Chain A
């Protein structure tokens, strides 16, 4: 069997996007499906296998010209190549996937799989892990693997807003999911001070649900350093008593460390700009206040509270906070 590109070129060092790849031969292996499962096994279903595929080799895709490849043990079974990446010495960053063809050299792997499966990603969140591996298809078709360190968090999937309450629904991610119903505390931390507001939350089979009474976040801090209740957006002078930013965490009742709320389990890179979220506008004593949920530049969930004395009578946009 031949590769789609025909007869391979003799092996030798090749320069691919500024990096020296040893043993590079002509052609490439094309895969129809490229996935990483929950056990961090890379699963490739090639359009056609090279005559004698050896093992997969990952090269740093975004490092200097001279870099060190990471070979990974590779299994062939029923037209599928699998490589266990769970123990692979991958550093943080993006890696390009190559395959060795026994006795000939190395070929890049290209994929027609767009690299996003929302269902797979949702499943991937279910267990404890400290690093996340994702397959990515480069615009020119190259198969990439992206590694980033992760810590347990709450994946926010749904936000409901009315004048009195912001309701959040999400799931525990990258941590153990206990069966059954548990209580927890949703902790809003006022950015820049030690002021905290605690609200009850429910965790049932890993699903988190919490109701935030918005006026709780409008109340002024009581004393000490908490009184410095202003938070200046980058590049702006702080103004007393107007805008406050709250970061939101979940504190399980089992003594585990608190979990930040955010949305990371898809490929939307900048929710801050890409999503439009409604604001809560309480009535009564808090008329004129505006509580705006938003995502930070790191896709973490936060709230911006603006009093009636803020610019635009509380009608502020969340476009500048980090």
Chain B
């Protein structure tokens, strides 16, 4: 099959683009895969593309410093928010969805020779539902829980998503809520976790007194709570460090919290890394203090290198990945003292860390590219069958 994966900005360094690249890698083993980026923001993508997977760019981004000169009609059109999307999508996301990008996407969809087109965020899924030809299998992918969308986005999802040929969500909790909202036919909606990238992962020796955290530094990740928990856990363990990988809008608050809590000797703001596995493998524990997790990719990545995770039992991903006291610890949601106690338990007990680390590695196999590619393959073939031969490609 020829599969196109639509993404807003394939040049970013966030979790969505990382998982799209991983998905392209997984599906690319058996199919022709192309990533279609609504905008081009740099010369080269931050993440290396899998061999054989191309990146098609529809429009040069306004925020691309080296953007070639654009004609005035395009410059006018790209300042007008998309008229066909809910306000939260059309006005947010760095003006990703505007009249120019919308037209470019519509042209692409009308001419594409792909058999399957997969959207990766609501704006793309909604435009895919409206404009993709019926000869193409149209699959939406949701990375966000239904209740976290704005009211107008939820309304648009309920109106337009049923036109899609299928929808994948990341967790069982998501599947239940989208099912309640959309009441789909059997097989239309499925849970599809993000895959790990292929490769030989390093393996943590679980010997360094380092707690790791990998994420965008945004309010929902609540890093000040992780700092507070780490501070409590290391009151008598000053040799332990906390390394935070990522960047984001909450960085000033995190810097202030480091000083307020007196953790300047123990916390390093490592910045973004392209070698997530190499860095996580230097750690012995990973901490998650989020208010909510769409999936919890960093938990799976920690598991892949054999590092146990201590996490709030927050909605929605952690409880579906972590088995308490087996491959990590799930602590009471938003209870900083419980998070501190969980971290302290694993800092204290090397043997327990090793046992959980081995279990974490075993769990990560469920998210290996081969396993997830097989799940995608079965799902796409089932959706093709459900279309009763109306598609260019047969099952």
Contacts and interface: CB of A to CB of B under 8 A. Distances in A.
Given A112-B203, A114-B281, A117-B205, A276 B259 contact: yes
A271 B264 CA distance: 11
A274 B207 contact: no
B268 A137 contact: no
Contact of B269 (A111, A116, A274): A274
A311 to B, nearest CB: 19
B184 interface: no
B264 A273 contact: no
Interface residues of A, number: 29
The residue in B200, B209, B305 that gathers the most chain A C-beta atoms within 10 A of its C-beta is B200
A268 B267 CA distance: 11
A141 B200 contact: yes
A165 B207 CA distance: 34
A110 B210 CA distance: 24
Given A139-B275, A276-B255, A276-B258, A118 B209 contact: yes
A15 interface: no
Contact of B265 (A113, A114, A116, A158): A158
B204 A114 contact: yes
B258 A112 contact: no
A75 interface: no
Interface in B40-62: none
Interface of B is mostly: loop
A3 to B, nearest CB: 14
A225 interface: no
A237 interface: no
Interface in A109-160: 110-119, 137, 139-141, 157-159
B282 interface: yes
Interface string B197-226: 001111111011110000000000000000
B182 interface: no
Interface string A275-289: 111100000000000
Contacts of B282: 114-116, 267
Nearest to A33: B205
B264 A277 contact: yes
B264 A118 contact: no
The residue in A114, A139, A274 that gathers the most chain B C-beta atoms within 10 A of its C-beta is A114
A137 B278 contact: yes
B270 A268 contact: yes
Interface string A21-50: 000000000101100000000000000000
18 contacts: A32-B203, A111-B202, A112-B202, A112-B281, A114-B203, A115-B282, A139-B274, A139-B275, A141-B200, A141-B202, A159-B264, A268-B268, A268-B270, A274-B269, A275-B268, A275-B269, A276-B255, A276-B267
Given A116-B208, A276-B255, 19 more contacts: A33-B205, A111-B202, A112-B200, A112-B201, A112-B203, A112-B281, A113-B205, A114-B202, A114-B204, A114-B278, A114-B282, A117-B208, A119-B208, A137-B202, A139-B277, A268-B270, A271-B268, A274-B269, A274-B271
